[in-house]
Amino acid sequence: AAVTAAATLPGCSALGSRGAIDTVGRVDFRNRLRIPPLAEADRRGGTTEFALAAQAGRSAIVAGGEADTWGLNGALLGPTLRARRGETVRITLTNHLDEATTLHWHGMHLPAAADGGPHQMVEPGATWSPSWRVDQPAATLWYHPHPHGQTERHVYRGLGGLFIVDDDHEAALDLPRTYGVDDIPVIVQDKTFDSTGQLIETARHDNGMVGDTILVNGTAGPVFEVGARRTRLRLLNASTARSYNFGLGDGRPVTMIASDGGLLSEPLSLQRVLLTPGERAEVVVELEPGQEVTLRSYPQDLGLTDARARNSGAADELDVLLLRAAARLAPSPEVPARLAVVDRLDESAVAVTRTFELRNNRINDEEMDLGRVDDVVTVDTTEVWEVWNGHRQPHNFHVHDVQFQVLSVDGRPPPPELSGWKDTVYLPPEVRFRLIMRFTEHTDPAMPYMYHCHLLWHEDQGMMGQFVVVEPGGRPADIGGGHGH
Ligand code: C2O
Ligand code: CU
């Protein structure tokens, strides 16, 4: 198995007062980037069926030895699921771990009973088979566990993967789309290893675990051999706490084509792409034959104090992935000038405005309670959620079931990278975000969806709330609190 030396990182072990990490030029890029396999789908009988088994295993990730990791159908991470808009999917999850977990389909519009939140715990040895009709634009979504109070640890151990939604519109565009060839999953995570190659799971401060070793698709020191002039990277920040401010090491821009929920209306040339935990962006990178360029994460202004910036990794400068172009590259068409029609949600139709303040691991001063419904939404209505980070700690905001649009940031129009469909958005301290969203899925009134900070330690500490979507005049049912562990 390919084992690489992790970059030796000075001064990164003292929690709370460490200096910034700088790995630029120090990562030994010698491991071929692992590409998660596409999950096999069984399409007999009109339903697209996938089987996932959560299991423990051992993974040689860095020098020194193997780590105890968790994966789906393997020892680390899981296969890429792929389905087309209009298909009905059914996923059979079998839990071979020795503790209960869940799988949540992040970014997916679906019935709450299939959502895989903390009310859908799958006990050891048990099987869970959610099914739903995929009905949303082509997008890079993902899946990960969501057991209340344990999400950070389950994701850090390695459970998670991509879920790509395809549609006819995206398929008709001239974009790179050969999976693993010129259309590449880039699942970025940070972890900390001890000298025996084992994962350290206890190094945590008030934002959770921020690791000193960056993995892409579970590969340390990853290099991808580029074979085409243009390569599409499906960037996913699957870290538990760390944010990345992606850019290319030689200063060339990337072309952003999609945000969390699908294509932007037009491509956007960017020097930096900020992704906080849970967020995705699709970018196209153009290389000449023989060129090498490093995908990096640059120090980022998250609006934090210096100490907080260091604790959250925001001051770090990191080498992430080496792209190495072959001597001859297959031609690729230019990125189309028009990508999609992103219909703006109608603000004049807004029925309800709600306000959410995130502070001290609470939302509106409430700690998450599995037995309490915080918000009751009426089906087929449009709402504005005003979201606000009330102190100088990094938080973002994720809503289940819907893709939203950012109406305004402190009263101003959002920057272009936030102009498309989003399900997770970074909240700089004391900046007011107005998000507009439409709820079209009427749910069992006893089965809530979640909203929360996607820094998973904050979520685990209770920075989460629950909403149900009911018929007009409907009321939430008693949802009970006994499902959590
Ligand atoms: Cu990606 Cu509620 O989660
Ligand atoms: Cu947070």
CA of 151 to the centre of ligand 1 (A): 9
Residue with tokens 């949600």: 345
Convert the pLDDT of each residue in 252-293 to its tens digit.
999 999 999 999 999 999 999 999 999 999 999 999 999 999
455 CA from centroid of ligand 2 (Å): 5
Which atom of ligand 1 lies closest to the CA of 142? 1
Write out pLDDT tens, residues 114-134.
999 999 999 999 999 999 999
Beta carbons of 112 and 443 less than 8 angstroms apart: yes
User: Would you say the ipTM is above 0.95?
Assistant: yes
Nearest ligand atom owner, CA of 148: 1
Above 50 in pLDDT, residue 12? no
- At the fourth CATH level, the homologous superfamily of domain 183-330 is Cupredoxins -  blue copper proteins (2.60.40.420)
User: In angstroms, what is the span from residue 397 Cα to ligand 2's centroid?
Assistant: 8
Q: Which amino acid is at 454?
A: H
State which ligand 1 atom lies nearest to the alpha carbon of 464: 2
Q: Is the pLDDT of residue 375 over 60?
A: yes
The residue whose CA is least distant from atom 1 of ligand 1 is 106
Q: What is the pLDDT of residue 392?
A: 84
Q: How confident is the model at residue 313 (pLDDT cuts 50, 70, 90)?
A: confident
Q: Calculate what percentage of the chain has a pLDDT beyond 90.
A: 86
- Interval between CA 394 and ligand 2 midpoint (Å): 6
What is residue 391's predicted lDDT score, i.e. its pLDDT?
A: 86
Ligand closest to the CA atom of residue 279: 1
Could you name the CATH architecture of 31-170? Answer: Sandwich (2.60)
Would you state the structure tokens that stand for residue 206, as one six-digit string?
């008030």
Ligand found nearest the CA of 426: 2
- pLDDT over threshold 80, residue 422: yes
What string of H, E and C letters represents the secondary structure of the chain?
A: CCCECCCCCCCCCCCCCCCCCECCCCCCCCEECCCCCECCCECHHHEEEEEEEEEEEEECCECCCCEEEEEECCCCECCEEEEECCCEEEEEEEECCCCCECCEEECCCCCHHHCCCCCCCECCCCEECCEEECCCCCEEEEEECCCCCCHHHHHHHCCCEEEEEECHHHHCCCCCCCECCCEEEEEEEEECECCCCCECCCCCECCECCCCEEEECCEECEEEEEEECEEEEEEEECCCCCCEEEEECCCCCEEEEEECCEEEEEEEEECCEEECCCCEEEEEEECCCCCEEEEEECCCCCCCCHHHHHHCCCCCEEEEEEEEEEEEEECCCCCCCCCCCCCCCCHHHEEEEEEEEEECCEECCECCCCCCCCEEEECCEEEEEEEEECCCCCEEEEECCCCEEEEEECCECCCHHHCCCECEEEECECCEEEEEEEECCCCCCCCCEEEECCCHHHHHCCCEEEEEEECCCCCCCCCCCCCCC
For residue 293, how far is its CA from the centre of ligand 1 (angstroms)? 32
pLDDT for 480 equals 63
Residue 453 Cα, ligand 2 centroid: separation in angstroms?
5
For 131-141, what is the mean pLDDT? Answer: 98
Identify the pLDDT of residue 485. 35
Q: Ligand 1 centre and the CA of 31: distance in Å?
A: 30
Report which protein residue has its CA nearest ligand 1's atom 3. Answer: 106
**Closest ligand 1 atom to the C-alpha of 107?**
1
Residue 13: per-residue pLDDT: 39
pLDDT above 70 covers a percentage of the chain that reads: 94
> Six-digit token pair at 107?
């970014």
* The pair of three-digit structure tokens given for residue 400, joined into one six-digit string: 């289940």
pLDDT, position 119: 96
* Tens of pLDDT, residues 15-34: 444 678 999 999 999 999 99
- Over the chain, what is the mean pLDDT? 93
Q: Which atom of ligand 1 is nearest to the CA of 117?
A: 2
Q: Do domains 31-170 and 347-470 have the same CATH topology?
A: yes
Provide CATH code, domain 347-470: 2.60.40.420
Give the global pTM: 0.94
Ligand 1 neighbours, Cβ below 6 Å, are 104, 106, 144, 146, 278, 398, 400, 450, 452, 454
pLDDT digits (tens, 9 = 90+) for 195-204: 999 999 988 8
Ligand 1 atom nearest to 450, measured from its CA: 2
Instruction: Give the ligand whose atoms come closest to the C-alpha of residue 390.
Output: 2
Give the residue extent of every domain in the chain.
31-170, 183-330, 347-470
